[in-house]
Amino acid sequence: MIVSKRNWRSNRREVGSKQQSRVLLFILITLFGSIASRLCWLQILQGTHYRKLADENRIRLVARAPFRGRLLDRNGIILASNKIRYNLFIQPRFVSKENWPLVRDRLGKLLSISSDLLENNYQNNFSSQYYRVTLAEGLNQQQVLRFKEQASSFIGFEVDIDVVRHYPYGSLASHVLGYTQLITAKEYKFLSSKGYLLRDRIGRIGVEAAYEDYLRGQWGGQMLEVDAFGSVQRTLGEKMAASGQDLVLTLDADLQRAAEKALSDKSGGAIVALDPRTGAILAMASRPAFDPNFFSRSFTSQKEYDHLFFSSSKPLFSRALNAYDPGSTWKPITGIAGMESGKFPSNIRLETFPCINYGSHCFPDHNGKGFGIIGYEDALSVSSNTFFYQVGVGVGSQELYKAAKKFGFNALTGIEIAYEESKGLVGNASWAAKGRGWAKPGTTPWLPEDMASASIGQAVVQVTPLQLARAYAVFANGGYLVTPHLASQGIDWTSLERRPKVDIRPSTLRTIRRGLRKVVQFGSGWRIDLPDLPSVAGKTGTAEDSSGGPDHAWFVCFSPYESGEIVVVAFAENTPGGGSVHALPMAKEVLEAWNLTRSK
């Protein structure tokens, strides 16, 4: 069959058209298949991931700080609370780095804030991951009003509130209360799992640190919807911050104020007042002190920080918890060692001397001539050194150490802020044989001179004012070793677990008590035996500073003598002149303040 040329061309066009349609259809199927596959990948397989990214781009979480629990004294007086502070923030994504210098200068001029300060805060805190960066803290009302009036011309900026710690009485009880401070980036790595944020504050020392979990509360916040430019469109939800719990302390603010006033003319020292029946601390003062509000200030210079942390006077250092040579306040412990060992019973009488030789040194009595033949009570009253040299050397270091341990020495007291506390030192032959803490074992033997010094609380004996208060509480309460504490917290502090009975003979306790009473009636403590005060028993002490400084002055007492309701330890650091001259008047001021509150 012969096909015409025209038909052949027509058939060829028809076949070509069909082929083009097939190619076009293939291309369309491939294109739409790719689109469908991509949509399936994005919406089904990766839908959760991209939905999360979209939400994160659209939703912002703004944290709200909790109110920290307040600190109250035993009568409800507020010792630490919270203060609202206004801060200036910027949303870094909204303001370009090119526009920032111009906006910064305008803002600084409006609020009377240094452009350099704004720049430093911007550079130090800027991160593309931060929704808000703090530019200025602690704005006053005038600055806040100025910003509010011009807020529309500062898109991306906002003024919001921050909560900081406030101590209404400044330095009062600063070493007990402590302070709070922003956590560091290093701390955040392990504290973030406990709910802390980078803007969070944490208790550093004192009660603020010891009861951190009890006081801190929980963060809250707002969920905000923002547009592509970072501007807030609406609030999606809010979780209220949970405030921390208030903590009632055992402190008496009036007694604390009296203690700090009594210390005011001393360059350094401490006063501890506690209830010998329970161990509740009524006052605990240390000088020099510091103002914990310093750590809540908006800005502090490095010079100010260095002055506080590296000052030679060590204002952050609690003298009440540091160990010093106790001098003659230690003699009751030596007496207990003598009586409890059986070598020097309570009725013994010893001849005293101008001085007694031990090793290469003649150890003198403080009057240079001795006090004749006397017993324990008179030896305490006149504070005879040579009497207690004989007792201490006679029983040996291990018996003295044994007696000291019964009264809580050479150990932590159990107070909540024990991480700041020294356990002190009661030197003995075993300790010396091990190298005294600084030499090779076997190279520093226990010497006769050591034993004589230990007998009167010098050189190889160091105790804290709090330890001394705890020990004298045993004399005041009839033989129980209390646990000092700053908050009762519903605990039975008179249980045997927290107030065990000291294993000593009743005759030993009676002898020491009568001797301490005679100190006030007839000895160096007579200035505190006044008709307007309940009966007092106590002991003065003048101690050489084994670190090489001037003498320390001590006075320890309890009152009333019959029932024992308060123990007071007064310590004047490196204040030569005697415990009766410098420390006793300090204790007297505290007792007078206590007696006023007692009589109300």
pLDDT score recorded for residue 278 = 98
Q: Helices (DSSP H) in 247-370: which residue ranges? A: 253-263, 302-309, 331-341
Residue 135 backbone class (left: φ over 0; alpha: ψ -120 to 50; beta: rest): alpha
Sign of the CA dihedral running 10, 14, 15, 20 = positive
Whole-angstrom Cα distance, residue 439 to residue 248?
Answer: 46
pLDDT score recorded for residue 128 = 46
Whole-angstrom Cα distance, residue 401 to residue 410?
Answer: 9
Q: What is the pLDDT along the chain (600 residues), one digit of tens a residue?
A: 455 555 555 555 565 566 667 767 677 777 766 776 766 665 665 556 555 544 445 666 666 778 899 999 999 999 999 988 888 888 777 777 788 888 889 888 888 888 888 888 787 666 544 566 778 888 888 888 988 888 888 888 888 777 889 999 999 999 999 999 988 888 888 888 888 887 788 999 999 999 999 999 887 766 666 655 555 566 666 777 788 999 999 999 999 999 999 999 999 999 999 999 999 999 999 999 999 999 988 667 788 888 888 998 999 999 999 999 999 999 999 999 999 999 999 999 999 999 999 998 999 999 999 999 999 999 999 999 999 999 999 999 999 999 999 999 999 999 999 999 999 999 999 999 999 999 999 999 999 999 999 999 999 999 999 999 999 999 999 999 999 999 999 999 999 999 999 999 999 999 999 999 999 999 999 999 888 889 999 999 999 999 899 999 999 999 999 999 999 999 999 999 999 999 999 999 999 999 998 876
Name residues whose C-beta falls within 8 Å of residue 7's C-beta, 6 or more positions apart in sequence.
none
pLDDT score recorded for residue 365 = 96
Name residues whose C-beta falls within 8 Å of residue 485's C-beta, 6 or more positions apart in sequence.
250, 279, 280, 281, 414, 415, 416, 491, 493
Distance (Å) of CA 536 to CA 51, 128, 259, 483, 586 = 77, 68, 18, 23, 14
Whole-angstrom Cα distance, residue 306 to residue 302?
Answer: 6
pLDDT score recorded for residue 217 = 86
DSSP letter at 110 equals: H
How, if at all, do strands 361-364 and 355-358 pair? antiparallel
pLDDT score recorded for residue 115 = 85
Reading the block at residue 266, the tokens are 């001393």
DSSP letter at 297 equals: S
Per DSSP (E only), the strands in 133-219 are 133-139, 157-166, 180-182, 201-203
pLDDT score recorded for residue 61 = 60
Fill in the amino acid letter for 482.
V
Q: Hunting for tokens 């302070």 — which residue is that?
A: 179
The answer to whether residues 568 and 535 touch, using CB atoms and an 8 Å cutoff, is no
pLDDT score recorded for residue 30 = 75
Whole-angstrom Cα distance, residue 279 to residue 316?
Answer: 24
pLDDT score recorded for residue 504 = 97
pLDDT score recorded for residue 45 = 57
Name residues whose C-beta falls within 8 Å of residue 173's C-beta, 6 or more positions apart in sequence.
79, 251, 253, 256, 260, 283, 284, 285
pLDDT score recorded for residue 222 = 64
Whole-angstrom Cα distance, residue 483 to residue 487?
Answer: 12
pLDDT score recorded for residue 1 = 47
Whole-angstrom Cα distance, residue 413 to residue 489?
Answer: 18
Q: Which of 126, 138, 128 is nearest to 88 (CA)?
A: 138
pLDDT score recorded for residue 63 = 67
Whole-angstrom Cα distance, residue 404 to residue 336?
Answer: 9
- In the chain, the domains with their CATH numbers are 60-248 (3.90.1310.10), 253-297+317-599 (3.40.710.10)
Torsions phi, psi for 294 (to 5 deg) = -55, -35
pLDDT score recorded for residue 307 = 86
Tell me the pTM: 0.84
pLDDT score recorded for residue 53 = 44
